[in-house]
């Protein structure tokens, strides 16, 4: 342990993506634009699915929940970063940091679980179409979303509460644009073995479990698509699954890459830059991916705007 003033600190410093003064206006404009697109795009999906009775199905119920979570996910990190850039301050209070970390873990977990639930929904729709309405009944698909919320809340609270007893040196700087769990834990001036174990166990059990369920569903979907004789049937089945595949690839490809490499690069700026992909860009792209490839959703959006005129 290096010498220093070990006490209950009142604030952290968020170093952000860059310390270059000339880059700050560009970063502010870029992230403000992405945040507004994220909120507007996902809000339109929520409004379209609520207002159009044709979209009152399990798939669009899950999609509207994912859109809500994506808005909250981006809102957990981006507004604070924009405020810090605008005020030229990097300070975040200790309570604010723990709160941000708690909500970040909550919505990141929900994103992971909802993607797994949506993969299961596509598996049932493509592999067992005749039983779809029986299996994915309203009670069951609402229970799946409720279970996702419960697991995410429990994980978020557990991880955040385990950070509270950790002591930190005063003027501790976090080499990130938000209070990311790994970064905060490894800045503590005490043994973090239990925290490390908990982080990796929950990542493997929750994140790995969700990914395993997604991959299993995908393998069954691919087998069913290959068994379809007509080219038109294959295209229709693949088109209902391709959007979800794109979102899953973006989210898991970047988030797992960051977490798996974090053990070797706790203070690397590249980790913060890579985190932008799944915390900001993926929530922004989700509405475009789903709406551009989905005729029903595009039709619902057109009817929604015509109804507002």
Condensed to tens digits (0 to 9), the pLDDT of residues 65-104 reads 999 999 999 999 999 999 999 999 899 999 999 999 999 9
**Domains of the chain with CATH codes:** 6-308 (1.20.1070.10)
Q: Of 146-160, 176-190, 235-249, 277-291, where does the model show the most confidence? A: 146-160
Burial category of 116 from C-beta neighbours within 10 Å (exposed 0-12, middle 13-18, buried 19 and up): buried
Q: For all residues of the chain together, what is the average pLDDT?
A: 86
pLDDT value at residue 146:
97
Q: Please give the DSSP secondary-structure letter assigned to residue 20.
A: -
- Which two three-digit tokens encode residue 241? 């699954």
Pinpoint the alpha helices (H) of the chain.
Answer: 24-51, 58-87, 94-127, 132-135, 138-163, 181-185, 193-202, 208-227, 231-261, 269-276, 282-292, 295-308
- For every residue of 51-75, DSSP letters joined together read H-GGG-SHHHHHHHHHHHHHHHHHH
Condensed to tens digits (0 to 9), the pLDDT of residues 32-62 reads 999 999 999 999 999 999 988 888 999 999 9
* Distance in angstroms (rounded) separating the CA atoms of residues 67 and 205: 24
- For every residue of 73-104, DSSP letters joined together read HHHHHHHHHHHHHHHT--EEEHHHHHHHHHHH
Predicted confidence (pLDDT) at residue 125 exceeds the cutoff of 60:
yes
pLDDT value at residue 3:
45
Contacts of 175 (CB under 8 A, 6+ apart): 15, 183, 267, 268, 269, 271, 272
Closest to 283 (Cα-Cα) out of 17, 25, 31, 28: 31
Condensed to tens digits (0 to 9), the pLDDT of residues 217-230 reads 989 988 888 887 77
∠ CA 117-122-126 to the nearest 5 degrees?
A: 150
Query: First and final CA of the chain: distance in angstroms?
Result: 65
| Neighbour count for residue 17 (Cβ, 10 Å) | 21
Strands 168-169 and 11-14: unpaired
């Amino acid at each position: 342990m290096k010498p220093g003033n070990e006490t209950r600190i009142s604030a952290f410093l968020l170093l952000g993506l860059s310390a270059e003064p000339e880059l700050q206006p560009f970063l502010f404009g870029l992230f403000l634009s992405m945040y507004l697109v994220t909120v507007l795009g996902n809000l339109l999906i929520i409004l379209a699915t609520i207002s159009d009775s044709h979209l009152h199905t399990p798939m669009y119920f899950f999609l509207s929940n994912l859109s809500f979570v994506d808005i909250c996910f981006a809102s957990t990190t981006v507004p604070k970063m924009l405020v810090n850039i605008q005020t030229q301050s990097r300070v975040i209070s200790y309570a604010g940091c723990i709160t941000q970390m708690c909500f970040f873990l909550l919505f990141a977990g929900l994103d992971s679980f909802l993607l797994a639930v949506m993969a299961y929904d596509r598996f049932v729709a493509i592999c067992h179409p005749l039983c779809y309405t029986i299996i994915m009944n309203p009670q069951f698909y609402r229970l799946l979303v409720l279970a996702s919320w419960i697991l995410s809340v429990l994980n978020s609270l557990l991880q955040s509460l385990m950070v509270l007893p950790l002591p930190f040196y005063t003027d501790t700087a976090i080499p990130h644009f938000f209070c990311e769990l790994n970064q905060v834990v490894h800045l503590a001036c005490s043994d973090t073995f239990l925290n490390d174990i908990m982080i990796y166990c929950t990542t493997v059990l929750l994140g790995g479990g969700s990914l395993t369920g997604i991959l299993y569903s995908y393998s069954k979907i691919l087998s069913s698509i290959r068994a379809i004789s007509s080219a038109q049937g294959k295209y229709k089945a693949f088109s209902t699954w391709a959007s979800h595949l794109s979102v899953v690839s973006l989210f898991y490809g970047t988030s797992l890459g960051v977490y798996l490499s974090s053990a070797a690069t706790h203070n690397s700026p590249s980790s913060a830059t890579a985190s932008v992909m799944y915390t900001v860009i993926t929530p922004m792209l989700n509405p475009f991916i789903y709406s551009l490839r989905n005729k029903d959703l595009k039709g619902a959006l057109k009817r929604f705007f015509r109804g507002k005129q």
